[in-house]
Structure 1
Amino acid sequence: MINNSVLELTKQLIAEQSITPDDASCQQIIANFLEKIGFKITNLPFGNVKNLWASYGNLSASPLLVFAGHTDVVPVGDLTAWNTNPFSATIIDDYLYGRGAADMKGNLAAMLIAVADFIKANPKFPGSIGFLITSDEEGDAQDGTKKVIQYLAKNNIKIDYCIVGEPTCSNKLGDTIKNGRRGSLLGNLKIIGTQGHVAYPELANNPIHLAPDILNKLTNLKLSPNTTLQFSNINSGTGATNVIPEYLECIFSIRFCAKLTAQGIQNAITEILDASGTQYKIDWVHHGDPFITKSGKLLDCSIQAIEDLTEITPELSVAGGTSDARFIAPTGAEVIELGLCNKTIHSVNECVQVKELVALPGIYERILELVFIST
C-alpha cells in the first residue's frame, strides 16, 4: 500500500471548493483515478447535480460491492474562525485540516486507494465493484443518490453490499459501524389565531399564548425510547410591538426507530393537535424511513477487518442524522457506514488524524479481501 497516496488524494479533493450542491472538479479527479485502474465511468447529471457511477468487473456476476459517498461539503462558516485555509489541506501536529477532511473527502480517498490496491493484488476476483458518488448529500438530496439508485434499477444493476463512507467513529478509527439509521420526519406547524391590537386582547386570539401548551404536549409525547422530537425554529410577530400576530410557525424534527412508521407518528401528533381545539395547519416532510442491517456477510466481514487491523471490536450504532444509506437500503442490499472520526464534522477547523487517514484504506481493503477472496 502506498500510504502517502491517500494523503495526496485527500488534499486534491479538499482543494476543490465543492460547497453543496457544487461538485467543482471532485468527480473528475475520482473518474480519472478509477479509469486508470480499469473502471468504466458513467456520468449521471440530474438538474444541477453531478453524479458518478463507476464499475469494475462483470456486473452480472455477483456479488456487487459498492462504495458510496458524496463530494459536496457544507459551507465553511466564518473564515476568520479557521486556523487554516479550509480549502488548502494543512497538516499540523499529525492532524490534517480542511473542509471535508472527515465528511467525507478523506473517506473517499481511502476507498479509492483501497480498491486500487485490492485490484492490483486480485485482478480476477469473483464479483464486481462499484462507486456511487454524488454532490447532493449535504443539501436537498433529491437529485443525487436517490436518482442514481433509480437509474441502476432501470438497468437491472443490483447492489449486494454497500459501504457508505460516512464518518462514523467517535473517538478512534474502528470504534463504530453504523449498521442502520433512524427515520427522519419533519413537521412545519402553523398555530392560527386572530390578529388584533395588544390593548384589546378580547378582540383577538393570540397564537403565542396558545402555543406553549401544544408544544409542551408534543415535546412530552412518548413514542419509543429511541425516538426523539426536537423543535428547531419558532417564529411569530408582525414586527410591530402593538400587534397580536395572526399565527405562530414552528418547525420540529423527529428521528424515529424501526418500530414506528412515519404515518403512525403523524397520526399521534394530529390527535394532540385536534384535541387542543386550536386552529392549525401542518405540513410534513418525510426524509427517510429507518433501516437496520442485521448480521450478514458484509457486517461480519467489516467487524472482522477492524478487529484484524486495530484490535478494536466496533460498536454497532444507528444514532446520528440521516445519510444516503436510506436510499440504498430499500434495494435489499446489505448496507453499512464506516469511516473516520466525526468529532469535527460541519465545524470550523474540521480535521482528521493523519495516522487514522493513512490506516483507513487498509480496513477497506481487508473488507474486500474477506468478502471476495476468503471463504
Structure 2
Amino acid sequence: MPATDPADLTARLIRCPSVTPHEGGALTLLQPILEMAGFTCTRIERGAVSNLFARWGEKSANRRFGFNGHTDVVPPGNPEDWRFDPFSGTIAEGRLWGRGACDMKSGVAAFVAAAVDFVTETPPEDGAVILTITGDEEGDSIDGTTAILDWMATEGESMTHCLVGEPTCPQVMGEMIKHGRRGSMTATITARGLQGHSAYPHRARNPLPALVALLDRLARHELDRGNGNFDPSTLALTTIDTGNTASNVIPAQARAVLNIRFNDGHTGESLTAWLQQETEAAAAQSGIALELSARVSGESFVTEPGPFTELVAQAVKAECGVTPELSTSGGTSDARFIKDHCPVVEFGLVGQSMHQTDEHVEISHIHTLKAVYTRVLQGYFGQNRPG
C-alpha cells in the first residue's frame, strides 16, 4: 500500500470551504480514509457543529495515544485580495496556498497520514490510536473538542496522552513545542448614568469619567512578573463604546471590554473576584452604577517536562535538526480542554501566515511534520515509552 501523501491530503482539505461552523466536506473527506485503514469512526454532532472521533484498536487497550486538531477555518476575507483562490489548494513556489493551509489543515493531514500508515505497516500490540477532529476551534469552542470529550466520557473512551497539531513554531520548523498555555478571560464593564445636554453637565450623570478611571487603574495594575513556566500575565483593553453619535449629548451608558491572559499564579475565579472588587469600589466612589460580567474561556496549565515531552522533543530534533524549546507562549488552543482528560502537548508548523491573506505552508514542512508524528507513534508504542 503506497504511503499516504500529507501534502495532497492538505490540498484536498483546503478545497473544502469549512468556515466555522460549517463542515464543508472536510470530515466527510477524512472519514473513509480512516475507515479503510481500520479506524472506527463516529460523527459527533452538537449545535451547528460536526466533529469526528476515530479509533484504531480497542478502547480497553493499555496505551491509547491521541491526536487532536480542527478542520474549521476563519473566513478568507475578500478573495480578490488573494494571489490564488483561498479554497483552491494551489501549489506554487514550493508552497501550498489557501485558507487553512497553515492553521491547521496541514496538521490534521499530517497526523491522519502518519496514523494511517503507522497502523497499516506496524500495528501496535495492546495499543490504540485515537484522532479527535473538531469543526469548532475557530468559533466559540463550545460544541467542538468539548463535545467530543463529553461523548468520550459517556462512551468510556479515553486517551492516555494527546498531541495537538496546532502551529507552534514562530519562524523555524521544529523550534518550539507548547507544553502549556496561559488562561484567557474576557470581562465587560457597563457604566450607567443619566443622559443630558453637554452644556448642562450638572443635570446629567456622566458614566464616562468613572468608567475611564476604573479602566486606567486596571490597565496599570501589575498582575504578576511571570515565573519559570510563564511570561507575566497581561490585561488589554479592547474596546470602549457609548453608541453616542452626538457631540453635545452626555451618554446614559458606556461599555468597555477587556481581555486577560493569565499564568498559573491566578485562576479565572480569582481574577473575576479582583475585577468585581475593583468595580464595586469604583461605583461606591463615583456614585455611578458599574456592572461586571466575565467569561473564562480557559484556565492556564502546564504539562510538566518528563518522558512524554522528551519523546516529542526527540522526534522533532531527529526530523527537523533543531532542539525545540518548551514554551507556554501565544494564545489559547483546544489543549485547554484536553488537559483535564490526559497529559497534552502541542507541536505543529511555522505559524507566520495563519489567519492572513495568502495563507500558505511549505510543502516540505508538511512531509516533515508527518515524519515527526510517525516518530512519536513509533516511540510511544516502542521500547522507550513515556510513563
Report the secondary structure of 1:102's partner residue.
coil
| Residues in 1 aligned to 2:125 and 2:8: alpha-carbon distance in whole angstroms | 27
Superposition TM-score, scaled by structure 1 size: 0.96
Structure 2 CA distance for aligned equivalents of residues 202 and 174 of structure 1: 63
**What is the CA–CA distance in structure 1 between the aligned matches of 2:309 and 2:41, rounded to whole Å?**
28
CA distance in 2, matches of 1:353, 1:172: 11
Contact 1:328 1:335 in 2 (8 A): yes
Partner of residue 138, structure 1? 138
Q: Does 1:316 align with 2:354?
A: no
Counterparts of 1:311 and 1:2, CA distance in 2 = 26
Residue 340 of structure 2 is aligned to residue 295 of structure 1:
no
Matched, 1:122 2:122: yes
- Most deviating of 161-170 and 114-123: 114-123
CA distance in structure 1 between the partners assigned to 2:2 and 2:242 by the alignment: 58
Counterpart code for 1:288: G
Per-residue deviation at 1:120? 2.6
2:375 alignment partner, one of 353, 356, 366: 366
2:199 is the alignment partner of 1:199: yes
Q: Which amino acid aligns with 1:360?
A: L
Query: Structure 1 stretches of 5 or more lacking a match?
Result: none
In structure 2, do the counterparts of structure 1 residues 94 and 3 end up closer, same or farther at CA, with 3 Å as the change threshold? Answer: farther
Aligned residue in 2 for 1:65: 65
Counterpart-to-counterpart distance in 1, 2:383 and 2:103: 31
Distance 1:116 1:238 in 2: 58
Structure 1 distance, partners of 2:47, 2:275, is 35
Match of 1:307 in 2: 317
Give SS of 2:104's match. Answer: helix
CA offsets, 1:301-352, max 9 Å, x none?
A: 1001011122211111111111111111112x11011111111111111111
Counterpart in the other structure of 1:235? 241
Residue 264 (structure 1) aligned with residue 273 (structure 2): no
**Residues 296 and 334, structure 1, Cα contact 8 Å, conserved in 2:** no
Structure 1 partner of 2:366: 357
Kindly state the Cα deviation for residue 263 of structure 1 after the two structures are TM-superposed: 1.5
Change (3 A) 1:3 1:202: farther
Give the whole-Å Cα distance in 1 for the aligned partners of 2:138 and 2:62: 31
Residue by residue over 1:180-201, the C-alpha shift from the partner in whole angstroms, topping out at 9 and shown as x without a partner, is 1111111011122221111101
The alignment-based identity, stated in percent, is: 36
Counterparts of 1:54 and 1:327, CA distance in 2: 18
Question: Given residue 381 of structure 2, which amino acid in structure 1 is its aligned partner?
Answer: F
CA deviation map 1:264-322 (0-9, x unaligned)? 11122222222222420111111011111112332111001011122211111111111
In structure 1, C-alpha distance between the alignment counterparts of 2:351 and 2:240, rounded to whole Å: 29
Structure 1 match to 2:228: none
AA at the equivalent of 2:297: H
1:181-192 map, 5 Å = 181-192=181-192
Aligned residue in 1 for 2:34? 34
| TM-aligned CA deviation for residue 79 of structure 1 | 1.9
Question: How many angstroms does 1:78 deviate by?
Answer: 2.2
Contact 1:4 1:358 in 2 (8 A): no
Instruction: State whether residues 4 and 117 of structure 2, in contact with CA within 8 Å, keep that contact through their aligned partners in structure 1.
Output: no
- How far has the Cα of 1:165 moved from its partner? 0.9
Opposite residue 170 of structure 2, the aligned amino acid is S
- How far does residue 4 in structure 1 lie from its aligned partner after superposition? 7.7
Using the alignment, how far apart are the partners of 1:186 and 1:301 within structure 2?
35
- Aligned mates of 2:22, 2:335 — CA distance in 1: 21
What per-residue deviation string (whole Å, max 9, x for no partner) do you get for residues 52-111 of structure 1?
A: 111001111121111111110000112222111000112222221100001110111101
- 1:43, 1:53 within 8 Å by CA — same for their partners in 2? yes
- 275, 279, 294: which is aligned to 1:284? 294
Deviations 1:18-67 (A, max 9, x none): 00011111001111110111100111111211011110011111211111
CA contact under 8 A between 2:185 and 2:261: conserved in structure 1?
yes
1:328 and 2:334 correspond: no
Deviations 1:2-23 (A, max 9, x none): 6781111011100000000111
TM-score normalised per structure 2:
0.93
Contact residue 6 and residue 113 of structure 1 kept, 8 A: yes
Q: What is the aligned partner in structure 1 of residue 229 from structure 2?
A: none
The residue identity in structure 2 corresponding to 1:352 is: V
1:343 corresponds to: 352
Distance, in Å, in 2 between the alignment partners of 1:83 and 1:23 is 25
- Partner SS for 2:129: strand
CA drift of 1:143 comes to 1.0
What are the residue-to-residue correspondences of 1:40-189 with 2, within 5 Å?
40-189=40-189
Letter in 2 for 1:304: Q
Partner-residue secondary structure (3-state), 1:133: strand
The DSSP-based 3-state class of the residue aligned with 1:50 is strand
- RMSD over aligned CA atoms reads 1.5
In 2, are the aligned partners of 1:184 and 1:289 still within 8 Å (CA)? Answer: yes
